[in-house]
Chain A
Amino acid sequence: MNADLDSSEMHRLFAAKADGTIAPEEHERLSTLLRNSANARQEWFAFQDAESAMLAWAQREALRREEGVGIETAAHTHAGSEPAHGAPLKYAGALAAGIVIGVLAWAFWPRPQGALTPNTPGLAARDEATTSSVAVLSRGVNMAWDETVGVPAVNSPLPPGVLRLQSGVAEIEFFQGARLCVEGPAEIRLISAGEAFCRYGRFSAHVPPQARGFRINTPKGDIVDLGTDFGLDLNATSPEVHVFKGEVELHQPPTPTRRLTTGTAAGLDQPGANRMLAANAAAFTFSHDLDAQVSASRREAFEQWEESNARRNSDRDLQLHLDFQDQQGSRSVRNAAEHGDAIAAGTIVGCNWTEGRWPGKGALQFHSVSDRVRLNLPGEYPQFTLAAWVQLHSLNARQSQSSLCMSQGLEVGGVHWQVLHDGSLCLGIVAEAHPPVTDDYISPVVFTPDRFGQWVHLAAVFDGVAKEVRFYVNGERLSRHSLKRAVMPKPVMAELGNWIPSPDYTGPHPVRNFVGCMDEFSLFARALGDDELRQLTQ
C-alpha cells in the first residue's frame, strides 16, 4: 500500500518535471528522491524512455496520416499538374519586423484536425531511418546491382535485407565496425550491424578489435571472426575461407568448431576433412585494389567534368557559374561564365573550403549560421534556371527553411530557392512587399535521410513564357507547377546558403542557413528544358 502511494507520488513528480509544471519544493523532493534511491533513478530512466516512445509514436502517427497526402501529390505531379495541396497564397504573418517565419512550411503541412505543429514528422522520419540501418555502402567501383532487388547509392545507410551485386566491387561498413569488400557476382543479406548471410560471391573482411564476433553465415557453414582480416570465396568450385591475419572460428555443425589462424585456409565443402591450405592473399586482390580503382575512377570523372566545364561556360545564357575551383582559402568565388560580365565574383563570409565530388574538385562547406556567399545578381529574369551540386548534411526540424540561394529581404521580385525542413524544395517569388506575400512553388520531398551526405544535383526552372516552374533532381524532372501570377523575378542581392532581411537590420531573424557542401552553382537566363538538364548532370 505504502509502496503504491510512493510510486504514484513519484510518477506525479516525474510528470510535473517533464511538463515544466513542477513547483520548487516539489523539485527539491524529486531531487532528494533521485539522489537517495537507486530504484527511483531506474524508474526515472524508464519514465523518460516511455515519454520518448510516446513522442515517437505520435510523430509516426502524424507521418502515417500524412502519407495519404504524399501519394496524392505524386500522382498529380506525374500528371503534370500542380500538387494537390498547391497551397493558396501565403500571407506573411505580421511577426517580428514583418518577417515570415515558417509560414510556408506551416501551410504545407496537412492539418487533419485543428492544430498540428509543422516541424515534428520530419524528425520522426530521420529517427526511424537511422534506427533501422545496420551498415553503410561506403565505396565502390563499377558496381552493377540487380535492379529488381535494389540499387543502393554510395554513402547511403543500408537497412537489413538482400543486396545482389552483379559485377564490380562494393565496400560495406557495418555499424559495429567490420568492413566487408564484396566482389560481384555476389548476394548478401544484411542481418544486423554485426551479422550477414552470404549466399555466393567473393568477400574480403576487415574486422577491427571492437567488431570482434562479426559473423558471416554461408550455406556451407558460419564464420565467426575474432578480430582479423580474412577472405571468403563462395564462387570457387570448392568454397574456401582464407585467414590473412588473426583468427576465425568455423562453425559447421555437427562438426566441432574449427579455428583458423594467420596464414591458413580451409575448404568449406568437406567439414572436418581438415583440408588445410595456405592462405592465398593474391586471390583477394580486389579488395586491395579498391583504393586504387576508386581513385582512378574518381580521377577520370573529374577529368570529364573539367572537359565539359569549358564547353558549358561558353553558353550565351549562362550568367553565373561558380565552379569553386578557386584557390584554397580564397575569400571570393569567381564567375567562370564566359558571358557573365554582368555578375561579379561572390564574396565568401565564413564557410570552409573542402573537397567536392572528386579529389581536386573544390567545394564550400556551410556549417554555422553565419556561413554564406554574397552575390549581386542585377537585372530582370523573365526566365531563369538555378542549378547546383549540393551535399546536404542535415535538416534542422526547428528550422523551417534552409537557403540554397535567396534574395536578401522580401522585396518584390526576390527569388527564394530553398530546402524546406521536411526535405522538399521550394522556389518562392516575392509578389507583394507590404505586407510581404511570396508565391511559393513546392516540390515533393527530395531529401529523405538516405540522401544526407550524398552529392545531389538540384535545379529550379522559372519559365515566365510557358508560365510554369519546374524542379529537377539529378537531371530528372521531379514536378511542374503553373505560375500563380505574373511577377518579374529580380534577385538583386542574394546569398548562397543563407539569408538576411537587410544589411542594416539588427533585430532577431529566423535562421535559414544551409548545412552541407556546394561544389557548383549556375544561373542561366533561360528556362532549360528536360534534355538540357539531363545533359548538365552527365
Chain B
Amino acid sequence: MPDTDPPSPSSEQFITLLNAAHGRLLGFLRVMLGNNADAEDVLQRASMTIWRKFGEYDAAKDFFAWASSFAFYEAKNFQRVSARSRLHFDDELLERLAEERVTDLDHREARLAAMDHCIEELDNPSRELVREFYLNNTELTVLADRLGRAPQTLYNKLNVLRRLLAECMKQRLAQEAGT
C-alpha cells in the first residue's frame, strides 16, 4: 500500500466528503445570501457542479477549500438570475464576506454548541416560538393568527429572543475562551 496512490475518486468518496463538508458549505453560503432557503438552493446546484468536477479534485487538498470556490460562483450566479429577491449584496462585498468567512468558520462549531445550551435555557413558550418559526418557516401572520396575536408583536418577541440568545452565545464563548 505505501507505494500506491490514493484510490481514484469515486461516488462514495464524493458523498462522504460532501456530507462531511455540508454544514460548513451551508454556513459559508448563508453569510453571502442571508438566509437558509437560498443557501440550500445554491448548495444543491453547486453540488452538481462539484460532482461534475470531482474528477479534477486532488485528494491531497482540503475538500472544503476546493468545493467552496464552486459554491461561491454558484452564489454569484444565483443572485444574478434569481427573481425571488432583488436585494442582494454586490459582488465586491460578496467576495469580502466569502474570503473572511473561510477562516471564521473555525468558530462555527463552538457557536452552534453554545447556542444549543442557550436555547435549552429558554422558557417553554419562547422555545415553542423558536421551534415553530424555524421549523415551519411559518409565515408569522399564519402563526399569529393561530395564537391569536398580532403578527408584529410576535415578530418583535422573536427578535428579542434572537438578541437574547445571541448575547447568551457570546457570553458562553467568552467564558470558554477564558477557561
Contact = CB atoms under 8 A, between A and B. Distances in A.
Interface of A: 8, 11-12, 15, 17-20, 22, 24, 27, 31, 34-35, 38, 41-42, 44-59, 61-62, 114-117, 120, 126-127, 129-131, 133, 136, 138, 155, 157, 175, 177, 179, 181, 204, 206, 208-210, 229, 244-245, 287-288, 290-291, 365, 367-368, 393-394, 396, 398, 449, 452-453, 517
B89 A449 contact: no
B2 A53 contact: no
Interface of B: 1-2, 4, 6-7, 11-12, 15-16, 19-20, 22-23, 26-27, 30-31, 34-36, 40, 44, 48, 51, 59-62, 85, 87, 89-90, 92-93, 96-97, 100-101, 104, 107-108, 111-112, 115-116, 119, 130-131, 133-138, 142, 146, 159, 162-163, 165-166, 169-170
A22 B87 contact: yes
B119 A54 contact: yes
Given A55-B134, A115-B136, A245-B2, A453 B15 contact: yes
Nearest to B11: A393
B170 A46 contact: yes
A288 B3 CA distance: 9
Contact of B16 (A127, A136, A290, A365): A136
A306 to B, nearest CB: 24
A209 B58 CA distance: 13
A107 to B, nearest CB: 17
Given A12-B159, A57-B130, A130-B19, A41 B97 contact: yes
A117 B136 contact: yes
A191 B75 CA distance: 36
B101 A62 contact: no
Contacts of B162: 11, 15, 50, 54
Contacts of B100: 38, 41, 45
Contact of B34 (A18, A136, A177): A18
Contacts of A117: 135-137
Contact of A24 (B40, B60, B87, B108): B87
Contacts of B92: 35
A46 B166 contact: yes
Contacts of A11: 159, 162-163, 166
**Interface residue SS majority, chain A:** helix
B93 A34 contact: yes
Contact of A206 (B1, B34, B159): B1
B165 A54 contact: yes
A20 B85 contact: yes
**In this complex, which of B36, B87, B89, B96 has the most chain A Cβ atoms within 10 angstroms of its Cβ?**
B87
Contact of A45 (B31, B62, B142): B31
B131 A27 contact: no
Contact of A31 (B30, B89, B137): B89
Nearest to B170: A46
Q: Is the interface of B mostly helix, strand, loop or mixed?
A: helix
B146 to A, nearest CB: 6
A52 B27 contact: yes
A55 B12 CA distance: 28
Nearest to A391: B11
Closest 8 CB pairs of A and B: A53-B115, A229-B2, A58-B134, A49-B111, A58-B135, A130-B19, A27-B87, A453-B12
B23 A130 contact: yes
Contacts of B34: 17-18
Contact of B23 (A131, A367, A398): A131
A48 B27 contact: yes
Given A59-B135, A210-B61, 15 more contacts: A8-B163, A22-B87, A27-B87, A44-B97, A50-B165, A52-B30, A52-B112, A54-B165, A55-B36, A57-B134, A59-B134, A175-B16, A179-B1, A396-B44, A517-B11
Contacts of A41: 96-97, 100
Contacts of A398: 40, 44
A48 B30 contact: yes
A54 B134 contact: yes
Nearest to A244: B2
B46 to A, nearest CB: 14
B101 A45 contact: yes
Given A15-B162, A53-B115, A55-B134, A449 B19 contact: yes
A131 B30 CA distance: 18
A229 B2 CA distance: 6
Contacts of A155: 12
Given A49-B115, A131-B23, A393 B15 contact: yes
B53 to A, nearest CB: 14
A393 B12 CA distance: 8
A57 B116 contact: yes
Given A45-B101, A453-B12, A50 B166 contact: yes
A56 to B, nearest CB: 7
B131 A61 contact: yes
B48 to A, nearest CB: 8
